[in-house]
Structure 1
Amino acid sequence: MIKQADGIAIETLTTPVAGKLIHAHCSTIVAFHDGELVAAWYWAVKEANIDEEIYISRHLPREASWSPPEPWGLKSRIMFDGNPVLWIAPDTGILHMFYNAGWGWSMVFAKHKTSKDRGRTWKDERNIYPFLSRGVKNPPILTSKGTYVLPAYVEFKFLRGVFFISSDKGRSWTQSTFVDLDPGIIPGGYEAKKGRQVEQPAVIERRDGTLLAFFRNDGKPMRKMLESTSSDGGFTWSAARNGSLPNPAGGFHVLRLASGNIAAIYNHAPSPGNDQKWRNPLSVALSEDDGATWSWRRNLLEFHLDATGGDAGGSNERDPGTEPKPEPEPETFEYPTMTQGHDGKIHATWSRSHVVSVNGTLQRVTDIQYTSLNEAWVKERRFFEDAWESS
């Protein structure tokens, strides 16, 4: 059963197409000053398929619903496009798109385009790095020094964090040192290659001007977000050590809000097993001290195996030829991301992985979902360590 939090409404932005569009994943979202929202994700029959392409949907002010998703139409014939990252540069108002293009997650180019018409047309394609093996997942930040710092990672031989810094508004990028796992935190008896667990970072600038990055790990053995700091604008970084928030080998996003607080949207799954084996529940937490501690938390969605029925964001009756799943299957809420509008509202998207009947065959599909919330809603509940939010 899915338990959806009170006080939020959830919309599903995708409908699977049998044999073609089954896996919609790694979404991204931005909000323009007039309230227009633009979301993007990659969509294909399966992950890293050669037909994988970026799709875009938008929600216009005063419109009741999101537009039907459309491919962005710029995919190469010989490479897939994945992990789109939208970002509106605060200093110029230009919309940026960062994404991965390649033949497998370890063999991708990190690419960059810009748009001056809110993503209807794109130009100025560049490679962030000239060679294969650099990937992106979360948006950059504009620092107090006027530089852009783009979080990235290497998934070739090792999993390592890395950052790219631009001092010319994204026209060129300089690579930082690598971020590797501190060997001192690896438990005895656990073998891990250097840097094995450090990937897909999100970054904030703290009030003192230093940078704090949060990293995904592979879920073993710590199951924690990893953290690293930089005191020189992102060019060099400390070794990654355990943070306080859990991470079940999944993507997440961390964002400084207009209030000055830090928001994290992630999976608060502190231990594996049963219905919280992977990316479940979907949580939002707030920090009032630059990510040192977390004061508030709400669960947006929880999936429980102890009952049948329930759904998030609508019925499982899908078109074409889909029917409700006949018995409970584990569901997960993956790769969440968020942005904040000028009115203070927080807009979030994520992937919902669940099983439905597609043309009479049970199949796991991944849809993109959306909701909006505000800080006051999150602050209705103090931070709690357990996975589940009690009534």
Structure 2
Amino acid sequence: MIVQKQTILFIVGLLFFSTLQAQENALQKWRKGIVKDEFIYNEASFPSCHSATLAETPTGLVYAFFGGTRERHPDVEIYVCRLEDEQWSTPVSAADGVQPDGTRLPTWNPVLYQIPNSDLLLFYKIGPKPSEWWGMLKRSTDGGRTWSAAEKLPEGYIGPVKNKPVLLSNGNLICPTSTEGNGWNIHFEITPDFGKTWRKVGPIDRGKDNLNAIQPSILDHGKGKLQILARSRNWAIVESWSYDNGETWTALEKTTLPNNNSGTDAVTTTNGSHVLVYNHVLPPKENPKGARTPLNVAVSKDGKKWDAVLILEDSPISQYSYPAVIQTKDGLLHFAYTWRREKMKHVVVDPSKLKKRKIRDGIWPAVKGYTLPTLETYKAEEE
């Protein structure tokens, strides 16, 4: 009898392993075009990390994120790594939340921006929580090796809240941002001189459905036409459009793409196409917060119709999130994101090798052998 039970357990285990292996093999169909997939570091002085940002500088790529005991802990600092000779440097603290009286507050959501032929900017936030944080700025003249003293942004300004600014054709640097103190609202902070002077646009009308959205990304369609895509509490990525270089915006509306109340990012490439990285997850009706896995990439020509091209991560162990995407001067796409709150990832993609499959009615297309996640597949995340 014992031998019989052991045999059954062995067969069940073998079938389970075979199923996982088949799923993994099928997942490779969603990874065409990936030329590099790596962790930024293997070991660090902090146990938890989150919120990636990435910039190409004249001396190479620079990657930033926040790390510490856990999100919201006073010891959380902004860490920076630089890519040198195809190797990432050890994470080095670039900013902390130490106050003049010696007390500490957590730092949040770094955003890097390389001024053409000038400084590298590091925007970040300090405060006990998002509804009470304020904006800070540091500058580097040597590709992120050293940083200036911290500058506090003008009262009421926080800079780009999560995703990168965009330099417009009229010379304005427009920072997509948002607030969480009195409901979720999106606005823009515009600087004509790379952070010396500022003005605000918005907040955007929340629309007939009173949509709650934050953390927008800006897509540039040319000739003053801009689009944002943003995280929401409304089970969908939301959008708004501007036709005058971001001075006025349409009311927020839902797109056909789902959102799990987690951060996204997007970029317009040099050939005018648009790339979106996000968790293609539709949470249950009773709770807009869903699992932060898988992590998906879609592309579009017009910002409305999207094709599925990549799954960067997919595992029952959740938390592949808060991504960033840029295109470097060689045309490659670079994705940065949180890996289980334990490490930070970097994935490089050749866009010419991507295989497109149409997303219809907001449903990620099926591929033989790969089982799409369902509400029961992965446990929803709390934060």
The correspondence of residues 112-261 of structure 1 with structure 2, limited to 5 A, is 112-123=137-148, 125-131=150-156, 136-182=161-207, 184-185=208-209, 197-218=212-233, 220=234, 223-261=235-273
How far did residue 340 of structure 1 move? 1.4
Q: Which runs of 5 or more structure 1 residues have no equivalent in the other structure?
A: 186-193, 306-329, 354-364
Larger radius of gyration: 2
Partner of 1:284: 297
Output the amino acid matched with 1:224. Answer: A
Return the alpha-carbon distance in structure 2 between the equivalents of residues 66 and 387 of structure 1: 34
1:84 paired with 2:113, answer no
1:372 paired with 2:348, answer yes
CA contact (8 A) 2:62 2:80 kept: yes
Partner of 1:21: 46
The answer to which of 230-239 and 365-374 deviates more is 230-239
Any idea what SS the aligned residue of 2:352 has? Answer: helix
- Alignment equivalent of 1:331, drawn from 310, 318, 334: 318
CA contact (8 A) 2:96 2:107 kept: no
Partner of 2:123: 98
- Post-superposition CA distance 1:284-313 (Å, at most 9, x none): 111112x1222452222222x5xxxxxxxx
Flag the 1:332–1:292 CA change in 2: closer, same or farther, 3 A: same
Return the alpha-carbon distance in structure 2 between the equivalents of residues 147 and 133 of structure 1: 17
Return the alpha-carbon distance in structure 1 between the equivalents of residues 269 and 38 of structure 2: 23
Q: Which runs of 5 or more structure 2 residues have no equivalent in the other structure?
A: 1-19, 369-383
How far did residue 14 of structure 1 move? 3.9
- Alignment equivalent of 1:344, drawn from 319, 331, 339: 331
Return the alpha-carbon distance in structure 1 between the equivalents of residues 274 and 153 of structure 2: 27
CA contact (8 A) 1:80 1:101 kept: yes
Output the amino acid matched with 1:12. Answer: F
- Post-superposition CA distance 1:85-125 (Å, at most 9, x none): 011123x4421111111121111112222211111222264
Aligned-pair Cα RMSD in Å:
2.5
Output the amino acid matched with 2:88. Answer: W
Output the amino acid matched with 2:133. Answer: V
Return the alpha-carbon distance in structure 1 between the equivalents of residues 267 and 160 of structure 2: 20
CA contact (8 A) 2:33 2:352 kept: no
Any idea what SS the aligned residue of 1:245 has? Answer: coil
Return the alpha-carbon distance in structure 2 between the equivalents of residues 87 and 102 of structure 1: 22
Flag the 1:55–1:122 CA change in 2: closer, same or farther, 3 A: same
Any idea what SS the aligned residue of 2:203 has? Answer: coil
Partner of 2:83: 59
CA contact (8 A) 2:327 2:334 kept: yes
How far did residue 234 of structure 1 move? 2.1
Return the alpha-carbon distance in structure 2 between the equivalents of residues 149 and 32 of structure 1: 19
- Post-superposition CA distance 1:219-262 (Å, at most 9, x none): x4xx1111112233323322211113221111111101112111
Output the amino acid matched with 1:248. Answer: N
Partner of 1:10: 37
Flag the 1:16–1:331 CA change in 2: closer, same or farther, 3 A: farther
How far did residue 139 of structure 1 move? 0.9
1:72 paired with 2:49, answer no
1:47 paired with 2:71, answer yes
Return the alpha-carbon distance in structure 1 between the equivalents of residues 158 and 152 of structure 2: 12
CA contact (8 A) 1:285 1:298 kept: yes
Output the amino acid matched with 1:284. Answer: V
CA contact (8 A) 2:160 2:189 kept: no
CA contact (8 A) 1:272 1:278 kept: no
Output the amino acid matched with 1:59. Answer: L
How far did residue 152 of structure 1 move? 0.7
TM-score (norm 1): 0.78
What's the % identity of the aligned pairs?
A: 27
CA contact (8 A) 1:269 1:387 kept: no
- Post-superposition CA distance 1:303-342 (Å, at most 9, x none): 2x5xxxxxxxxxxxxxxxxxxxxxxxx3231011111111
- Post-superposition CA distance 1:129-163 (Å, at most 9, x none): 41377771111101111111001111112110010
Q: Point out the structure with the larger strand share.
A: 1
How far did residue 33 of structure 1 move? 4.6
Partner of 2:3: none
CA contact (8 A) 1:134 1:154 kept: no
Output the amino acid matched with 1:79. Answer: L
Return the alpha-carbon distance in structure 1 between the equivalents of residues 271 and 92 of structure 2: 34
Return the alpha-carbon distance in structure 1 between the equivalents of residues 239 and 33 of structure 2: 32
Return the alpha-carbon distance in structure 2 between the equivalents of residues 272 and 147 of structure 1: 40
- Alignment equivalent of 1:390, drawn from 367, 370, 374: 367
